[in-house]
Amino acid sequence: MTATGANSLRNGPDEQGRFGLYGGRFVAETLMPLILDLEKAYRAAQADPEFQAQIKHLATHYVGRPSPLYFAERLTEQLGGAKVYFKREELNHTGSHKINNTLGQILLAKRMGKTRIIAETGAGQHGVATATVCAKFDLPCVVFMGATDVERQYPNVLRMKMLGAEVRPVTAGAGTLKDAMNEALRDWVTNVETTYYLIGTAAGPHPYPEMVRNFQSVIGEEIKAQMQAETGKLPDAVVACVGGGSNAIGTFHAFLDDPSVKLYGAEAGGHGIEVENGHAASMTGGRPGVLHGNRTYLLQNADGQILEGHSISAGLDYPGVGPEHSYLHDTKRVTYAPITDKEALDAFQLCTRLEGIIPALESAHGLAHLMKVAPTMSTDETIVLCLSGRGDKDVESVGRYLGMNS
């Protein structure tokens, strides 16, 4: 909970876990007592200076924070508009922003006396970050991953296994992130006494969206301080990709009450927003519903059945989004726009060739949106991209798309 004014956009959620209409605790009774315990444990941890100090210490020495803010000079020249900066979350230990959250939650799980960790993963970045902290803190770890994703993100599957995690492929549905989350929830409801569910995105039942946001908010706070040091002012625009939306909410949260900073979220436009079930842009192409413990924008049919969606990026291939994004979409504080598979692939290649940085396909969606916005801005303005993950995991599948494998 943040001490801000009554009209602040940073006050959410309320005591019921709502961000306006969105959020809540839509879970089976079996899980309800645990979720209430989790909230209590999290509040106690938040107030405990030792817990905060532990996170700070590990962030510095284990993760490598603060992550650098990098001026992307050649990309800036190429786009011919605002100065482009990358927030280098891909340089964190494990290669993405996901570790910010898994470190916080594993410490919480330890405080709660839980002896087994489960997680869902799409691109495998959260799975790797979870398997990593489970290795470090000596806890058994089971990661649920859609069978389709196991195939397209195989390097991350190997990393998880080497770190000692058990990876359970999920074949239900399209075998992507939604199905992995269903299966994780089924495991949790079965092993509720011993098991901590380490959710990787800012979604799910309260208090997860708030908790994950808070663990990720370090991204935006560092950007703010680094831009002040670099340019003496706030950035004019900030961009992040949005699947469930944990890197985006962590990037945006520090700027919500700074109206001069324009905020952009890039959703997965897949084959195009007009292609039915061919994208994963839940806010641009969906409507509010209830799934996985929260009310939020969802891709669904007229009868309330959830659609699978599609994205070239396994990390964005999810039919929902964190509830706080739904709220920021309705209030128009953040502009969310779809980026197609093709636009993301183009941005992926441009970044690799111009800056020598191979971005994750997820982050490439954010970059593609930045490439649309930056040229419309003046050269004395600045725009920051949260480069949320590195693309090592994607080189095989991108190579296949580009015909490099033959």
Partner 1 sequence: MTTRIPARFALCASQNRPALVAYTMAGDPDLATAQAILEALPGAGADIIELGMPFSDPMADGPGVQAAGQRALAAGQTMKKTLAMVEAFRKQDDETPIVLMGYYNPIYIFGVDAFLSAAKAAGVDGLIVVDLPPEEDAELCIPALRAGLNFIRLATPTTDDARLPAVLNNTSGFVYYVSMTGITGASIKNHAAVGEAVTRIKGHTDLPVVVGFGIKTADDAARMGRDSDGIAVGTAICNAVLGSLENGKATAGTVAAVTTLVAGLSSGVKRAKAAA
Contacts with partner 1, residue ranges (CB under 8 A): 16, 24-34, 172-173, 178, 182, 185-186, 189-193, 289-293, 295, 298, 300, 302-306
Q: Give the integer Cα–Cα distance in Å for 98 and 108.
A: 16
CB of 20 to partner 1, least distance (A): 15
* Nearer to partner 1 (CB atom), residue 155 or residue 173: 173
Minimum Å gap between C-beta 206 and partner 1 is 9
- Does 207 sit behind a cis peptide bond, omega within 30 degrees of 0 on the bond before it? yes
* β partners of residue 96: 389
Q: Which is nearer to partner 1, 104 or 243 (CB)?
A: 243
Return the number of the residue (36 or 225) whose C-beta is nearest partner 1.
36
Nearest CB to partner 1, comparing residues 47 and 302: 302
Q: Strands, DSSP E only, in 130-261? A: 141-146, 166-170, 195-197, 237-241
Shortest gap between Cβ of 117 and partner 1 (angstroms)?
17
Three-state secondary structure along 58-75? HHHHHHCCCCCEEECHHH
Peptide bond connecting 155 to the previous residue in cis, omega within 30 degrees of 0: no
Amino acid letter for position 241? C
Distance CA 207, CA 244 (A): 15
**Closer to partner 1 at the Cβ: 13 or 389?**
13
Residue 164 CB, nearest approach to partner 1 (Å): 26
Closest CB to partner 1 among 77 and 276? Answer: 276
Dist CA 97 CA 84 (whole Å): 20
Buried b (16+ CB within 10 A) or exposed e, 70-80: bebeebbeebe
C-beta of 190: minimal distance to partner 1 in Å?
Answer: 4
Q: Which residues are catalytic?
A: 98, 120, 388
For the bound state, the minimum distance from the C-beta of residue 193 to partner 1, rounded and expressed in Å, comes to 7
Place of tokens 């100090």: 53
Q: Please measure the distance between the N-terminal and C-terminal CA atoms of the chain and give it in whole angstroms.
A: 53
Q: Which CB, 16 or 406, lies closer to partner 1?
A: 16
CB atoms within 10 A of CB 189: 16
Q: Cβ of residue 171: shortest distance to partner 1, in angstroms?
A: 11
Burial class (CB in 10 A: 0-12, 13-18, 19+), 159: buried
Give the C-alpha separation, 373 to 84, whole Å: 11
SS3 percent helix, strand, coil of the chain, rounded to 5, is 45, 20, 35
163 close to 134: Cβ distance less than 8 angstroms: yes
Residue type for position 310:
H
